[in-house]
């Protein structure tokens, strides 16, 4: 069996996102580190902050990365040895940390840098939009001539667009008229994974050049790159894909397919939220898929994996 670990992107932060990981001794140093980055305890922040603060780009990216790294610290020794790993948007940076290719605090520093660079290239009039039920040609046509582009390709004709709010508002109206099954805004205020962040992409590539990869030990998972769904076979060669994905669309449908082709028989999303588990279940209904948010305890997660795999 292969466990597919899915690291969530931003957008689904919530008050209880650290209920399973926040008090674990194994993750205490990580929470302390992010407390210094954010100027306050993230476990308190998620319960008390206004939604605008919780969904601010830098805060959101750090919170989601912290959740992935904290969960990995708790589960690593108990999870099956054969694993594959994919991350959605900022979750891909977290995934390199979870895979053991980048140190945990270095991963958090990278995410901090990434978010700051993205914010510096955003002007306050951008956002992201979800559309389900239109084909690729229709989406391309809606974006043509407008300051908007496909940001993420999800399974089953589900698309995330990034761009200027004015353009996204017009696209949303036209998508509904074209018969889209669902059109909704996403609480992200930067045009992630589009050409509008080309300069941030280039600058982040410079930051990655200074990273010390943990290549001296065996990675704990087969990792997939977001921009093409290909496995990371040479970390030093593929590291710059983390920079490219800031300004290029994420091929999440290919990432899930890569996990399945690698032998995945169960999906576990580290959260926050259930979006990735739900997409995996929709695309591969024969493969069990759950998120940490589905459970009340760490023991519950491990018991579920035991029932599903017989090896957790």
pTM, two decimal places: 0.95
In angstroms, the CA 132 to CA 144 distance is 18
pLDDT beyond 70 at 1: no
More reliable by pLDDT, 305 or 266: 266
181 backbone dihedrals φ, ψ, rounded to 5°:
-75, -30
In angstroms, the CA 118 to CA 55 distance is 14
Average pLDDT across the chain, whole number = 94
In angstroms, the CA 12 to CA 200 distance is 24
Q: What is the pLDDT of residues 95-124, one digit of tens each?
A: 999 999 999 999 999 999 999 999 999 998
Q: Which CATH architecture has domain 2-121+195-309?
A: 3-Layer(aba) Sandwich (3.40)
Average pLDDT over residues 236-253: 97
Q: What is the pLDDT of residues 224-233, one digit of tens each?
A: 999 999 999 9
Which CATH fold would you assign to the domain 126-186? Alpha-Beta Plaits (3.30.70)
* 298-309 vs 57-75: helix crossing angle, rounded to 10: 60
Average pLDDT over residues 256-267: 95
Domain assignments of the chain as residue spans, ordered by start: 2-121+195-309, 126-186
> What's residue 312's pLDDT?
43
> What's residue 311's pLDDT?
54
Q: Show the beta-strand stretches assigned E in the chain.
A: 2-7, 83-87, 126-132, 148-154, 158-164, 182-186, 222-223, 250-251, 264-269, 289-291
Q: What is the pLDDT of residues 282-298, one digit of tens each?
A: 999 999 999 999 999 98
pLDDT beyond 80 at 77: no
Average pLDDT over residues 212-239: 86
Least confident residue range of 35-39, 174-178, 233-237, 253-257 = 233-237
């Amino acid at each position: 069996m292969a466990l597919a670990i899915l690291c969530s992107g931003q957008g689904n932060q919530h008050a209880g996102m650290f209920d399973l990981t926040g008090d674990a001794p194994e993750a205490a140093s990580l929470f302390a580190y992010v407390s210094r980055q954010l100027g306050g305890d993230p476990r308190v922040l998620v319960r008390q902050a206004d939604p605008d603060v919780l969904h601010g780009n830098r805060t959101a990216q750090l919170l989601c990365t912290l959740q992935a790294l904290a969960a990995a610290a708790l589960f690593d020794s108990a999870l099956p040895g054969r694993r594959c790993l994919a991350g959605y948007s900022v979750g891909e940076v977290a995934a390199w940390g979870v895979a053991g290719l980048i140190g945990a605090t270095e991963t958090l520093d990278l995410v901090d840098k990434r978010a700051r660079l993205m914010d510096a290239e955003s002007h306050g009039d951008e956002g992201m939009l979800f559309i389900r039920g239109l084909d690729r040609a229709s989406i391309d046509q809606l974006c043509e001539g407008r300051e908007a582009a496909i940001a993420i390709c999800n399974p089953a004709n589900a698309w995330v667009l990034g761009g200027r709010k004015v353009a996204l508002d017009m696209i949303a109206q036209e998508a509904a008229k074209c018969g889209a099954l669902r059109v909704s805004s996403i609480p992200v205020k930067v045009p992630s994974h589009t050409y509008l962040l080309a300069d941030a992409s280039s600058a982040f590539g410079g930051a990655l050049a200074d990273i010390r990869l943990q290549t001296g030990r065996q990675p704990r998972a087969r990792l997939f790159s977001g921009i093409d769904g290909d496995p990371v076979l040479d970390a030093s060669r593929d590291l710059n894909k983390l920079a490219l994905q800031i300004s290029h669309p994420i091929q999440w449908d290919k990432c899930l397919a890569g996990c399945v082709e690698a032998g995945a028989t169960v999906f576990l999303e580290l959260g926050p939220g259930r979006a990735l588990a739900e997409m995996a279940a929709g695309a591969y209904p024969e493969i069990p898929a759950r998120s940490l948010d589905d459970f009340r305890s760490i023991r519950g997660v491990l018991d579920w994996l035991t029932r599903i795999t017989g090896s957790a």
